[in-house]
Structures are given as C-alpha cells and as structure tokens.
Structure 1
Amino acid sequence: MNTPWSDWQKWWMDIAKTVVGAFLGFAIAFTVFDWFEQDRAERRALCVQKVDRMYRTLAGLQTAGSNYRTAAHNTLIELYRWRDEQPTEPMRRWWGPAYAELEAALRGFDVAFPEAGQATSSIRKSMDRLYKILDQELIDPRLDDIADLYHRENPPTEEERRQAASPLPREKIDRRRPDVEKELATIKEAQDRLGNIASTIIMQPASAVCKSREIGVDGAA
C-alpha cells in the first residue's frame, strides 16, 4: 500500500517539475536561437563571398580588357615592321592569351552580373571585327603567300624570300588603322560602361545585393 505524499514532498516535486520544465524550455529556446544564428552567419558568409567574387570579377574584366587592347594595338604597330616569316610574339600574344583572358572575363561577368543583360556583347563584336581586320585581312594573306612559296615544287629564290619577308605596304595598314582604333575605343567605352553597371550594383548594401541573388542576409553590411 502506497503512502500518500506529504505536503512537503508535493512542494519539492512541484519545484523539481518547475526547474526541469524551465531548463528544458531554456534548452529548446537556446537550440532554436543558436540554429537561427548559425543559419544567419552562414548566409552572411555566403553574401560576403558573393560580393568579394563580384569585386574580383569586375577587376578581372578591367585587367583583361586593358591587356587585350594593348595586345591588339601592339599587333597593329608590329605590322609596320613585320619581316619575319612567322607570326611575331605580339601577334601570338594577341591571338592567344589576351583573347582567352578577355573571353573568360566576359563569361565571368555575365554570370556575376546577370542584371547587365547582354552588355558584354558589344565587346565580343569588336573582338570579332578586330580579328577580321588584323588577322584575316592583314596577317593571313602574307602568311599564305609565304606558305605557298615553300609548298610549291621549286624552292623559293633568295629574291622571293626577301620580298615575302618585306613589311606589308604601309598604305594598306594605314587604310585599316582607323577601323582598328575605332574598335579599340569601342571596347574601352564598353569596359567603362560595364564598370559603371557593376559598381552601381556592388555599392548597394550587401543585404540588397545578396537578396537579389536569393541569398537573404538580414542586417548584413
């Protein structure tokens, strides 16, 4: 037969239940609060990384664009004194690394700043036009003439080699130089325009920048 609890025992049991209940409530509240804080910290970290990538993407585009314009200009100047039977280093630099770096930077900008829409297309169009002028109109014909000399049945004479290795007619380069310089100026203007677009986006509060990219960060700065 169970002995009834005394008032003293009931009082202590009530105290114990109150303490346990309060402890469990505190533990649950702390766990929920901690989870929200961790989630907020993670989203803030993602936002910081996103904004940092945007800064680096913009800087990369400006550098790649400047390098490409320099390489294209150097190629134009090189054509005035080009005597080699092969493309020179400035030409290879423009063809290869400078082009690849700018194309990669443009792709990165499109991803980082989708708000800009097709703003990078004008640079790509100028790159295509520069390729047609410098490569297809000025460089390739000379290389083709040299290749023909060495692929025919009789080897080229010294005079033929000398003529093949002579610089391009200056008037031919001068005729296309304004078009080259126009495309380089177009690329520069497009770079500046993209820089303004990107700067306007980045200069917003980080919370607004990340919210537009579905990374909510309340109160992030």
Structure 2
Amino acid sequence: MSDWSDAKKWTMDLIKSGIAFTVAAIVTLFVVNTVQQSQAFENARASAFYTERVTAMRQLQSETVLYDRSAHTAYTELFQWNSKQKTPAMVEYEQVAYPRWQLVLESANYLFPDCEKAIQALRLENEERYEIYHRFVYAQLDSSRAITPEWMEERRIELWHARPKFEESEKRMSDMRATIIRGMQQALFPIKTHRSSVSSCAG
C-alpha cells in the first residue's frame, strides 16, 4: 500500500510538473511573440518614417528646381509686362508653384525638426521676395493710369532698382537650401565623426 501511495504521489508530482512546464512554456511563447510583434511593429514604423523622410528630401530637391524655374520665368515676364492681364507664367507661379512649394517646406519642417529654424528662415526669405513681386504686380493692376510708354519707363526704372533685392534674395535662398539639404542628408545618413551629433542645418 505504501508503494502504491509513493507511486501515485510520484505520478501526481510528475503531472503537476508537466502542467507547470506547459503553462510556463505557453506564457513564455506568448510573451516572446508579443515582444517580437512589438519589435516588428516598431521596425516597420521606423522604416516607414525613414522612407517618408527620404521622400521629403528628394521632393524638396526636385520641387526646388521646378519652383525656381517658375519664379524666374514670372520675374522675367514682370520686367516686360505691359498689360492689365497677368501672363500664364505669372498665374502659374502665383497659383501653382508658390503654394505647392510652401507645402513642400511644411512637410520638410515636420519630418526634419532639427532643420526647423533653417526652413523657417528660408520660408521667410521666400515670402519677402514674393511680396516685392506681388507689390509690383498689383501696383500695375490697380493703377488707374493708362499703360503708356512713359508709365512703362517709370516702372522699368523702379524694377531695375529692385533687381538687386531679387538677386540677393535668390543667392541667400540658394545657400539656405544647400544648408537644409546637408542637414537632411546628415540626419538620414549620419557620418561617424566628432561633429556628427551637430545638425548641419545650423549652417
């Protein structure tokens, strides 16, 4: 009878151990699976964010070329403009290129917070240049004077005096964009140097 009790006790202990091991294994698998899923989610999110940032940088580069082309054409036509109707290039610049590039800057600003100050400075410079252009356009549209050769000559002189401002602004914007692109590249592809922790967006 004692042997039977010992055997039964041993069997029950074995069953308990088996149950405990099974439960522990299930819990462990659940925890490991949860951790792995969490890591996979974080990796996928980081990968998506990285892709989004690369896209934003490339978009800024490509859209800058299109924007500069549109702005240059509009400013060139402004110097030759002699009517009360905007040219197609001026309309395209004001209604398409300018607002589109502003959106590109907003996206870059959101995705690259280290470059926020540089992007805001670029945005301000661009807005100031646009205001000069805008002032000349609406001075002509709102003027009650007829567009005569004399009036055009006065306007050309004013535009000529404003030309250095356009050129200086264009140079500053070019330098700012180069600085921002360097900062974006550094954020995406950091170089292991003693300066790598400092954002090149600072200039």
TM-score w.r.t. length of structure 2: 0.80
**One-letter amino acid of the counterpart of residue 115, structure 1:** D
Q: CA deviation at 1:16?
A: 1.4
In 2, the alpha carbon distance for the partners of 1:89 and 1:96 equals 10
Q: CA deviation at 1:134?
A: 1.7
Q: Report the Cα distance in structure 2 between the residues aligned to 1:43 and 1:102, rounded to whole angstroms.
A: 31
How far the C-alpha of 1:75 sits from its partner, in A, is 0.9
SS at match of 2:71: helix
Give the residue type in structure 2 aligned to 1:126. Answer: E
Paired amino acid for 1:178: P
| Partners of 1:80 and 1:173 within 8 A in 2 | yes
Structure 2 distance, partners of 1:71, 1:186, is 18
Deviating more after overlay: 5-14 vs 21-30:
5-14
Query: Which position in structure 1 is the counterpart of 2:128?
Result: 129
Which of 175, 187, 192 does residue 201 from structure 1 map onto? 187
Question: Alpha carbons of 1:174 and 1:103: their partners in 2 closer, same or farther (altered >3 Å)?
Answer: same
Equivalence for 1:22: 21
Matching of residues 185-200 of structure 1 within 5 Å: 185-200=171-186
Instruction: Find the aligned partners of 1:184 and 1:123 in 2 and give their Cα distance.
Output: 11
1:17-166 matched pairs, under 5 angstroms: 17-136=16-135, 138-145=136-143, 148=144, 163=148
Answer with 22-31 or 89-98: which moved more: 89-98
Deviating more after overlay: 6-15 vs 168-177: 168-177
Distance 1:185 1:22 in 2: 72
Cα deviations by residue, 1:40-63 (Å, 9 ceiling, x for unpaired): 111111111111111122222223
Instruction: Label 1:204 to 1:35 Cα distance change in 2 as closer, same or farther (>3 A).
Output: farther
Greater relative contact order (Cα < 8 A, sep 6+): 1
Counterpart residue type for residue 192 of structure 1: A
Alignment: residue pair count: 188
Per-residue deviation at 1:115?
1.6
TM-score, structure 1 normalization: 0.74
**In structure 2, do the counterparts of structure 1 residues 201 and 79 end up closer, same or farther at CA, with 3 Å as the change threshold?**
same
Deviation at 1:26, TM superposition (A): 0.7
- List structure 1 segments (4+ residues) > 6 angstroms apart after TM superposition: none
Gap regions ≥5 residues in structure 2: 192-203
The CA deviation string for residues 2-32 of structure 1, in whole angstroms up to 9 with x for no partner, is xx95333223222211211111111111111
Counterpart code for 1:26: A
Structure with greater helix share of residues: 2
- C-alpha distance in structure 1 between counterparts of 2:68 and 2:168, whole Å: 11
* Identity in percent: 20
Unaligned runs of 5+ in 1: 150-159, 206-221
> How far apart in 1 are the matches of 2:53 and 2:160?
40
CA contact (8 A) 1:119 1:194 kept: yes
